[in-house]
Structure 1
Amino acid sequence: MTNLDNQITQTLKKVAGELDQPNFAMPAAYKRKRSRLLGTWVLPVSISCVLLLTISVSPTFADYVKSLFDGSDKELQYAAQKGFSQKVNASVTDRGYTLEIEEILADPMRIVAVYSIKDQQNNFIHPDKFHISNVEVTDLKGKVIKETKIYQLEKQENYGYLTLKKPGETEERKLVLQFEGNQIDSVKGNWALKIPFDLEKTTKASQVLAIDKTYTTPQGLQINLNSIMQSPTAARVDYETKWTEEAQKRLVEESKQVKGKVDSADPYVRYDDFKLNFHVENEKGEKVNDLTRALDNPSKAVGEHGHSNRSYGFAPLSPDHQYMLVLDSLEKTEPYELGVSFEPKQLAEKPVRVDKDGKTIEIKSVTFDEPLNEASPKNEKHATILLEAYLKDISYINIADTILMDDDTNKIINRFGWTIKDEKGKIYDVTGGDFKMIGKDEQGRNHIRMKLQSYEMKELPQKLSLTSELARKSYDLDWKVPLPMPKEDK
Structure 2
Amino acid sequence: MTCFMFNQWKLYENGNLPPAESKGLEQHAEQCPQCQRKLQEWVDRMLEEEFSSYPEVPVPDTFTDEVMSKLFEAVPARTARKRSSRTRRQRGWDIMKKTGLVVAGLTALVVTGTVVSPTFANYVNSLFQIEKDAGMKNAVNKGFAQKLNQKVTDQGITFEAKELMVDSMRIAVIYDMYDQNGKQIDIDEHFLDSQLIDPTGKGLTAENGGLVMARHGDYFIAKLALNDIFESSDTTPDQLVLKLEQTEIAGKEGKWELEFPIDMKKAKEATKTADFQQATYESAKGLVMELKKIEFSPSATRVMMETKYTTAAEEERNQQVEYYKKNQEQGKTIGMKPDYLLDFLIRDEIAYEITNEQGEVVAAWDMKSLDEGIRNEKNVLKVSGTTGKAEGDKMKSWQTFGPIQGEQKLTFQLKKIYEGKLADPQMELNLTELVKQKETVKDEVGNTFTFSSFALEPAHGEEKKAQAVITVEGTLAKDVVSTEFWFVKDEDGKVYHSYLRNSESTRDKDGRIHVKGKLEVPGMERQPKKLTVSYAEYTVEHRNVNWEVPIEIK
TM-score in terms of structure 1 length: 0.73
- 8 Å contact kept, 2:387–2:399: no
Q: What is the CA–CA distance in structure 2 between the aligned matches of 1:229 and 1:86, rounded to whole Å?
A: 23
For the residue of structure 1 that corresponds to 2:276, the secondary structure is: strand
The match for 1:112 is: 172
Report the CA distance between 1:78 and its aligned residue. Answer: 0.9
Q: Secondary structure at the match of 2:191?
A: strand
User: Which residue identity is paired with 2:533?
Assistant: L
- Which sections of structure 1, spanning at least 5 residues, go unmatched? 1-58, 399-416
Q: C-alpha separation between the residues in 1 aligned to 2:299 and 2:354?
A: 16
Greater strand content: 1
Match of 2:434 among 321, 343, 347: 347
SS in 1 for 2:205: coil
CA–CA distance in structure 2, aligned partners of residues 74 and 267 of structure 1: 40
RMSD (Å), alpha carbons: 3.1
Equivalents in 1 of 2:149, 2:306: separation in Å?
A: 42
Q: Quick one: percent identity of the two aligned structures? A: 25
Query: Contact (CA 8 Å) 1:138, 1:175: kept in 2 or not?
Result: yes
Q: Once the 2 structures are TM-superposed, how far is the Cα of residue 352 of structure 1 from its aligned partner? A: 1.0
Match of 2:287 in 1: 221
Residue pair 1:251, 1:269 contacting (<8 A) in 2 also: no
Change over 3 Å in CA distance of 1:151–1:195 after alignment to 2: closer
Pair 1:279-2:353 in alignment: yes
Aligned residue type for 2:503: K
Instruction: Report the counterpart of residue 370 of structure 2 in structure 1.
Output: none
Q: What are the superposed Cα offsets for residues 321-354 of structure 1, whole Å, 9 maximum, x if unpaired?
A: 4322222322232123433211223223101111
Pairing partner for 1:103 from 160, 163, 174: 163
Kept after mapping to 1: 8 A contact 2:210/2:385? no
Which residue pairs with 1:168 in the alignment?
230
Task: In structure 1, give the amino acid aligned to 2:346.
Answer: D
Residue-pair matches, total: 403
SS at match of 1:316: coil
Contact 2:307/2:348, CA 8 A, preserved across alignment: no
SS of 1:283's equivalent? coil
Q: Structure 1 residues 478, 102: closer, same or farther in 2, change over 3 A? A: farther
| 1:426 pairs with 2:494 | yes
SS in 1 for 2:338: coil
Q: Distance in 2 between matches of 1:396 and 1:139?
A: 44
Structure having the higher helix fraction is: 2
Three-state SS of the structure 2 residue aligned to 1:248 is: helix
Q: 1:219-368 alignment to 2 at 5 Å?
A: 219-259=285-325, 260=328, 261=333, 262-265=336-339, 268=342, 272-284=346-358, 285-288=360-363, 290-294=379-383, 296-304=385-393, 307-319=394-406, 321-356=408-443, 358-368=446-456
Contact 1:352–1:363, Cα closer than 8 Å, also in 2: yes
* Distance (whole Å) between structure 2 residues aligned to residue 94 and residue 60 of structure 1: 39
CA–CA separation in structure 2 for the residues paired with 1:173 and 1:246: 44
* Structure 1 counterpart of 2:552, one-letter code: P
| Structure with larger Rg | 2
User: C-alpha separation between the residues in 1 aligned to 2:230 and 2:519?
Assistant: 41
Residues 70 and 266 (structure 1), Cα distance of their counterparts in 2 relative to 1, 3 Å cut: closer
Query: SS at the partner of 1:287?
Result: strand
Distance 1:171 1:351, change over 3 A: closer
Which AA in structure 2 matches 1:298?
Answer: T
TM-score normalised by L of structure 2: 0.65
Aligned counterparts of 2:138 and 2:410: Cα–Cα separation in 1: 19
* Paired position in structure 1 for 2:466: 381
- 1:147 touches 1:168 (CA, 8 Å); kept in 2? no
Q: How many angstroms apart in 2 are the aligned matches of 1:435 and 1:278?
A: 26
Partner of 2:49: none
Report the Cα distance in structure 2 between the residues aligned to 1:151 and 1:103, rounded to whole angstroms: 16
**Who is 1:11 aligned against?**
none
Counterpart secondary structure, 1:258: helix
Correspondent of 2:504 among 437, 440, 446? 437
Shift of 1:236: 1.8
Q: Which amino acid aligns with 1:218?
A: A
Deviations 1:154-213 (A, max 9, x none): 433423332223153975322221112345555565432222222121112223332222
Find the residue that maps to 1:338 and give its secondary structure: coil
The residue that corresponds to 2:126 in the other structure is 67
Map 1:102-181 to 2 at 5 A: 102-122=162-182, 124-126=184-186, 128-140=187-199, 142-147=201-206, 150=210, 152-166=212-226, 167-168=229-230, 171-181=236-246
Q: CA deviation at 1:79?
A: 0.9
Q: Is the 8 A contact 2:455 2:469 kept in 1?
A: yes
Deviations 1:293-336 (A, max 9, x none): 226453233332xx232232222322254322222322232123
Q: Does 1:85 align with 2:145?
A: yes
